[in-house]
Amino acid sequence: MTAKQTVQQEDLFKLKSVTNPVLAPDSSEAVFVVTQIDKEENIYHAHLHHLDVNTGNSTQWTYGKERVSQPKWSPDGSQLAFLSTRDDKNQLYVMHSTGGEARKLTDYQNGVGSFLWSPCGTKIWLTSTVIDGKTFTDKEEKDEKKQPEALRVTTMKYKADGAGFVKNDRHSQIGCLDLESEEITAFTEDPFHHSLQAVSHCGKKLVIGVNRAENNDFDFRQPLVLVDVETKEETVLVDEQGYFGGAAFSRDDRYIAYGGSDRTFENATHSALYVYDCENKTTLNLTEALDAPVGDAVVADHQQGPNPPEAVWTEGNYLYFQVTTMGDVRLYFADLDGSLYPASPESEHVYDYDVAKNGQFALAAISDPVNPGELYRLDIATGERKALTSFNETYVADTILVKPDTIQLEGAGGFDIHGWLMKPANYKEGSKYPLVVNIHGGPHAMYGNSFFHEMQVLAAQGWGVLYVNPRGSHGYSQAFVDAVRGDYGGGDYQDIMDALDDVLEQQDWIDKDRLGVTGGSYGGFMTNWIVGHTDRFKAAVTQRSISNWISFFGVSDIGYYFSDWQIKADMTDVDTLWKHSPLKYAEHVKTPLLILHSENDLRCPIEQAEQLYITLKSMHKETEFVRFPEADHNLSRTGKPNLRITRLNELTGWFEKYL
């Protein structure tokens, strides 16, 4: 019998991400997407698989060096459409459900963003970015000798992390593609971004999202409108500051469900599930009594491209949707009379799903801390479940995976602090081990009961791992998630340190003289803050961090409003911005600090790392700086595979050196 192996950095190449389950109209079969990293090519492959729901037999349907996404069955189940990058840009393909080669339907300059079947099954609605005044099929003229051109900037939202500079002469438009002729008819042409939300079952109505403000620098709306396909007459469903989307028609087309959050607490506001009654023209907040956010707020590093629906309607006008709560993401049920209850168990992460039309079962992609994720059939009435895939079964069987223990303590201000503690993979009773505190980003996100490769890597090195959800994290009360705003480095810092003190008191295996701390984004900010306010940590690694709120205001793609929302200060109050800036406290840093940052990060631009590094060096502090080319803010989750491995090696190497 072969001995089990500890988790390694390069296990990223062994793991498979199972996502995008979509049931056929008769619910007897389904398709889903499996993503794996190609080590030699240094790229991600995502392929379409077919599943017999009753037998659990699955078959791979697509191959090659491509990424497939957004699979959708035709209304009669005879065809399947999906997006694929097999020719570089995401283009639309259709194949027969009985098999055969997929037919490429589009060859647009900027690819296809999203699509929905028309109920007739002969047309497909889709979105693509189109140059103003051009058509879907027009292509930009290429001049091989073209000289570099200056970029004129007239708005504040002129760049976006992961996308680069935003060109203001092109917008996302909606068109209708005829499958037989392959000709597309433009449905929208105005110079605004349009999102395709839903098509009614009768085929006569669309729900689209569009903000027609001439300048949206301080406008954070995506109004949802119900549009008559023939007359283009519009009925507004929602038009207020906030984020709304994911619309879906009920089976009888009377109701439209959608998710979203207003700006009562800016971007800390809980998301809710709303239902619009097309007959009475009234809107109901179905989750108003639920003090937890609708959707999935878990942060992890394994699942690739999950695309769960905002809500799924079943017969009888019942709804199913995700709720983030107490470290879990659970499937919930609701009806229009106010009933609301969970439809999946605790202690797991339902990260993607679909529900049969009759509501008898769900097809769910589920993970937990020692399960990278598989598809399961969940019987709604009995709660029974059946595993339908086993893509990571061999990996789990052959690998030492550490199951974390849940911790909970009373924090400052009466808030309960919730988190997890992992023992080292090689733990032996009576021995002492270092501990690494790992802090999530956001801050309005959540560590959860989900597989996290990075955590397992740290435990495999022989260290304990503590990760908690301090105030500001999602998954708890509205008061809890809002409590961090205007108090960065206050109660949130106290929550983390209180949790650390609690486990040090309770666990005698932790060597209190060998503590490390790390985190990314907001977690990077907090790592910087911690080393400037205490010297109890022997090593720290800050990733994609914020060090200076004054410069962040002007250089981040979201800085000019995020600073106001989160720090509650702008450039008219630089004293407050500086008060909350870790750079201010650089002279107090005694902890050896490794700085990891992506060069193309526009969310927390690399100048934040540069300022911190040069300042610490000028003060003769112990620090090093690692820059990652061709990487943005999401390096640790979706970055180039070789750089993800390098990042993990740098992280573990620094702690190995100092712990």
Residues annotated as catalytic (active site), given as ranges: 521, 633
The Cα 239–Cα 237 span in angstroms is 7
Burial of 282 (0-12, 13-18, 19+ CB in 10 A): exposed
* Residues near 333 by beta carbon (within 8 Å), at least 6 away in sequence: 318, 319, 320, 339, 340, 341, 342, 343, 380
For residues 86, 90, 96 and 97, what is the CA-based torsion angle, rounded to 10 degrees? 100
Do residues 648 and 9 touch, judged by C-beta distance below 8 A?
Answer: yes
CA distances for 241 relative to 224, 261, 481, 556, angstroms: 12, 9, 19, 21
Distance CA 437, CA 496 (A): 9
Return the closest-CA partner of residue 451 out of 408, 422, 418, 473. 422
Q: Under a CB-based contact definition with an 8 Å cutoff, are residues 491 and 412 in contact?
A: yes
- Cβ atoms of 227 and 234 within 8 Å: the answer is yes
State the first-to-last Cα distance of the chain, in angstroms, to the nearest integer: 34
285 near 259, Cβ under 8 Å?
Answer: no
* C-alpha 61: how far from chain center: 26
What is the total residue count of the chain?
A: 659
Determine contact, residues 464/434, Cβ cutoff 8 Å: yes
Cα(108)–Cα(395) distance, integer angstroms: 40
Q: Is the dihedral of CA 335, 331, 59, 61 positive or negative?
A: positive
* Neighbouring C-beta atoms of residue 200, cutoff 10 Å: 18
List C-alpha distances in Å: 79 to 128, 186, 197, 391, 470: 22, 24, 21, 26, 47
C-alpha–C-alpha distance, residues 308 and 248, integer Å: 13
Work out the angle at residue 72's Cα, subtended by the Cα atoms of residues 66 and 78, and round it to the nearest 5 degrees. Answer: 110
Q: Are 263 and 241 in contact (CB under 8 A)?
A: yes
SS3 280: coil
**H-state helical runs in 601-659:** 607-618, 635-638, 641-658
Which amino acid is present at 153? V
Give the separation between CA 511 and CA 423, rounded to whole angstroms.
12
User: Is there a contact between 445 and 472 (Cβ–Cβ < 8 Å)?
Assistant: no
Q: Is 594 left (phi over 0), alpha (psi -120 to 50) or beta?
A: beta
Write the burial class of residue 543 (CB in 10 Å: 0-12 exposed, 13-18 middle, 19+ buried): buried
Q: Distance between CA 177 and CA 397 in Å, rounded?
A: 47
Alpha helices for 532-619 (secondary structure H): 549-555, 559-566, 574-579, 607-618
Bridge partners of 421?
405, 466
Vertex 203, ends 200 and 208: CA angle to 5°?
55
How far is residue 581's CA from residue 615's CA, in Å, rounded to a whole number? 13
Q: Are 227 and 208 in contact (CB under 8 A)?
A: yes
